[in-house]
């Protein structure tokens, strides 16, 4: 495994355990071309793959023959020199010219993985895990140096890519488009998988056949956004969860992005991903460099399931820096849906006291603790404690919470400002706006210009002061609106196109400072739910609020969709009250717990209003969480059936790396009539065929006995059916009969332990 160069053939070969990626330098023209990506092969010279596609256009006139540029499988295609397919790079000179023509110049292969200046990226955790190729290309007319960086992770089917542009010209060059990576395929018999949705419906997988034309995903919101996630995969048209080739890209970036899969007119296809070029421009002075975000590429020869598990392994070890690496994160309770803005010191401590009795370990104070923030119309930007609501400030409250045996956490939304705030009245120009144009007001707030250092420093200093005054061990960082009328009072006219990218770099800088200054702080990100759920944010915070839709049944598809490339341990998930505040649905407390455990796990309700029986169930849920969370957090995820198209049930498994233990979650979403209507035999996955497993139901939903009062039944742990002993081969091939459940939204947890 690793990276080799066959100098005679002009072929670079990148090998991972089951993957080979090959690119070549063609002939005297020195074009860098893509040759192969897929199942691992042993060959080092595959020049025959150029075949007829690398054509010379014939001509009746002597000396007038030439290349058909849009037949060439370019490794990093550029605009303006005859390739009319999707391109990765477009630049503009001072004279207004846009053409760019890259040719190979040199390369380096070395162990390890370089850091990216100002950007999050995957990293090598231990020496010997990565090998990197730096492939230097140049446009000689522009004297623009383009360094293509590839890193392979030796034990994962992962290759990461990024691009570094350096202006070695005496004149300014403007970057108009710089994407991070490109894939070429010689056919179109594929589907395109993207993750789409909206607020409260994030990460819904959409599978679209690839034909001649384009399938796109992207955002121009200033964040990765709820409607599209920076993930795109092309897969065999016959590929399933467990079978078929899958080629996936995930951008490590939290701003405007673009992903395109194009079936082109020569019956091949091209996939590109990177920063969205809409309203993007970057002025590159002589000697300056620009680094594009990293794109992670995963190949799977065993369908979507193996693709997901590869992403999970990569991100858990090589992207997320968890303050609880080998232990469960604390079970939390958030006061938002319990009180909203209407809380007192006494009410908060009352909730915390009851939570502590149930084994909950962290109390989080949400919105409304600062400035004049008594509703959503005011106060953002004034990050000082409202002592009329909280006498003694955050210091006193956190101290009281700690005395009750709980950790203390706090909500912030540092990127925003309310028109009704001291900050905005003092510095109205600090809000992103176009002079003379109407300023859109969403959720009664504007976005601060975080491209400006003085703005970032001012906000950070206030938050740092609050955190230093109290024992705050968790922060929920929110962002509740997108960027509009994007312009900065601090940027000149020819740099206004830099604002959105500079904004994201500013967010990364402050999150990095927060982590450095408070290294034991557990940071959870949120953006009106899952509107900034991406690998860039995961570099700074090990978990992200999955969605503002806290309804358990709705959350199944949201969380399973996010699991396409993000580990379950990154998905913020809470048990909320019934009727649910978003859907009005009534679901048993047990079922809500099973689904929230397929995430970070916590509560968002008024525990003081719950019955003794419900509190008993909470204590049991906390116990189950601590017994099995590391299995969920670190194990392999197997999705059983189709959680997106099956309206009757959902099922998933978490299997330990040594295959000795597994936890099966089964949710019956729609009960069917008849004796066999709700009886299902499912084939399990991921087990050791020869091992004998003890199979035992450890928890089962109870019916909601009094819907009007919303009282749920509890259950003693161990009050289950007798266990069975079956082989892994029987469970996977012959199947396992799920216990017949009565009613919609019922579920159970099944534990498997190898003898």
User: Choosing from 101, 228, 420, 548, which is the catalytic residue?
Assistant: 548
Distance CA 735, CA 684 (A): 6
Q: How far apart (Å, rounded) are the C-alpha atoms in residues 463 and 479?
A: 15
The pair of three-digit structure tokens given for residue 54, joined into one six-digit string: 């690398």
Residue 285, C-beta contacts closer than 8 angstroms, at least 6 positions apart: 167, 172
d(CA 541, CA 321): 7
Distance CA 537, CA 276 (A): 18
Instruction: Decide if 551 is catalytic.
Output: no
Nearest to residue 75, comparing CAs of 17, 147, 18? 147
Kindly name the residue from 245, 382, 478, 634 that is annotated as catalytic: 478
Is residue 565 within 8 A of residue 233, CB to CB? The reply is: no
Strand order in the sheet with 362-365: 571-572, 543-545, 522-525, 474-477, 407-412, 362-365, 332-334, 602-604, 575-576
d(CA 554, CA 76): 41
Distance (Å, whole) CA 717 – CA 696: 12
Measured distance CA(350)–CA(568) in Å, rounded = 31
Q: Is 548 a catalytic residue?
A: yes
Residue 353's SS3 state is helix
| Buried-state track 508-526, b at ≥16 Cβ within 10 A, e below 16 | bbbbeebbeebeebbbbbb
The number of C-alpha atoms within 13 Å of 316 and in the hemisphere containing its C-beta is 25
Residue 343: partners with Cβ closer than 8 Å, 6 or more residues away: 335, 368, 389
| Cα–Cα distance measured from residue 97 to residue 78, given in angstroms and rounded to the nearest whole number | 13
CB count in 10 Å sphere of residue 356 = 18
Residues marked as catalytic: 478, 548
């Amino acid at each position: 495994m690793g990276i080799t160069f066959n100098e005679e053939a002009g072929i670079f070969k990148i090998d991972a355990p089951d993957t080979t990626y090959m690119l070549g330098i063609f002939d005297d023209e020195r074009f860098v071309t893509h040759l192969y990506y897929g199942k691992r092969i042993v060959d080092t010279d595959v020049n025959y793959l150029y075949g007829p596609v690398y054509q010379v256009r014939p001509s009746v006139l002597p000396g007038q023959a030439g290349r058909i540029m849009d037949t060439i499988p370019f490794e990093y295609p550029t605009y303006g020199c005859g390739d009319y397919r999707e391109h990765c790079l477009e630049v503009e000179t001072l004279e207004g010219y846009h053409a760019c023509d890259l040719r190979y110049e040199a390369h380096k292969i070395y162990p390890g993985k370089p850091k990216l200046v100002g950007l999050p990226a995957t990293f090598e955790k231990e020496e010997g895990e990565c090998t990197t190729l730096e492939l230097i290309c140049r446009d000689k007319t522009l004297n623009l140096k383009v360094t293509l960086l590839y890193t392979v992770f030796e034990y994962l089917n992962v290759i990461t890519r990024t691009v570094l542009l350096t202006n070695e010209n005496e004149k300014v060059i403007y970057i108009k488009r710089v994407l991070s990576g490109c894939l070429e395929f010689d056919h179109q018999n594929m589907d395109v998988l993207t993750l789409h949705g909206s607020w409260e419906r994030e990460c819904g997988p959409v599978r679209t056949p690839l034909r001649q034309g384009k399938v796109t995903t992207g955002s121009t919101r200033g964040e990765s956004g709820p409607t599209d996630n920076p993930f795109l995969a092309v897969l065999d048209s016959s590929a399933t969860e467990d079978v078929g080739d899958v080629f996936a890209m995930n951008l490590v970036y939290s701003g405007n992005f673009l992903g395109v899969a194009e079936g082109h007119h020569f019956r091949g296809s091209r996939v590109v991903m990177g920063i969205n070029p809409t309203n993007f421009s970057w002025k590159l002075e002589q000697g300056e460099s620009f680094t594009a975000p990293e794109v992670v590429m995963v190949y799977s020869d065993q369908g979507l399931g193996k693709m997901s598990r590869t992403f999970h392994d990569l991100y858990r070890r090589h992207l997320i820096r968890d303050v609880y690496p080998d232990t469960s994160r604390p079970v939390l309770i958030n006061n938002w849906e319990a009180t909203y803005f209407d809380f007192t010191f006494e009410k908060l401590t009352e909730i915390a006291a009851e939570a502590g009795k149930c084994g909950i370990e962290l109390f989080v104070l949400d919105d409304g603790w600062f400035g004049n923030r008594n509703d959503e119309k005011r106060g953002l930007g004034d990050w000082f404690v409202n002592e009329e609501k909280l006498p003694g400030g955050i210091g006193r409250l956190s101290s009281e919470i700690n005395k009750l045996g709980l950790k203390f956490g706090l909500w912030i939304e540092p990127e925003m400002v309310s028109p009704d705030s001291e900050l905005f009245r003092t510095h109205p120009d600090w809000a992103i706006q176009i002079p003379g144009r109407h300023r859109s007001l969403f959720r009664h707030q504007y976005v601060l210009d975080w491209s400006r250092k003085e703005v970032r420093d001012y906000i950070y200093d206030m938050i740092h002061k609050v955190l230093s005054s109290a024992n705050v061990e968790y922060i929920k960082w929110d962002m509740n609106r997108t960027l509009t009328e994007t312009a900065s009072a601090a940027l000149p006219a020819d740099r206004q196109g830099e604002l959105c990218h500079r904004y994201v770099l500013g967010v990364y800088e402050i999150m990095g400072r927060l982590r450095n200054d408070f290294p034991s702080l557990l940071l959870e990100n949120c953006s009106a739910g899952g509107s900034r759920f991406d690998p860039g944010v995961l570099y700074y915070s090990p978990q992200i609020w999955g969605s503002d839709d806290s309804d358990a049944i709705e959350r199944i598809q949201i969380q399973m969709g996010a699991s396409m490339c993000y580990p379950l341990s990154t998905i913020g998930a809470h048990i909320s009250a019934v009727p649910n505040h978003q859907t009005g649905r009534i679901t048993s407390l047990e079922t809500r717990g099973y689904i929230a455990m397929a995430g970070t796990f916590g509560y968002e309700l008024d525990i003081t209003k719950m019955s003794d029986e419900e509190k008993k169930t909470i204590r049991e849920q906390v116990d189950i969480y601590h017994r099995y969370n590391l299995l969920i957090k670190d194990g392999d995820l197997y999705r059983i059936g189709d959680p997106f198209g099956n309206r009757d049930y959902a099922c998933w498994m978490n299997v330990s790396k040594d295959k000795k233990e597994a936890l099966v979650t089964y949710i019956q979403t729609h009960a069917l009539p008849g004796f066999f209507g709700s009886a299902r035999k499912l084939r399990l996955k991921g087990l050791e065929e020869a091992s004998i497993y003890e199979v035992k139901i450890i928890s089962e939903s109870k019916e909601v006995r009094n819907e009007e009062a919303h009282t749920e039944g509890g259950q003693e742990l161990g009050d289950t059916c007798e266990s069975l002993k079956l082989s892994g081969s029987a469970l996977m091939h012959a199947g396992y009969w799920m216990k017949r459940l009565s009613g919609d939204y019922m579920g159970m947890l099944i534990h498997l332990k190898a003898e």
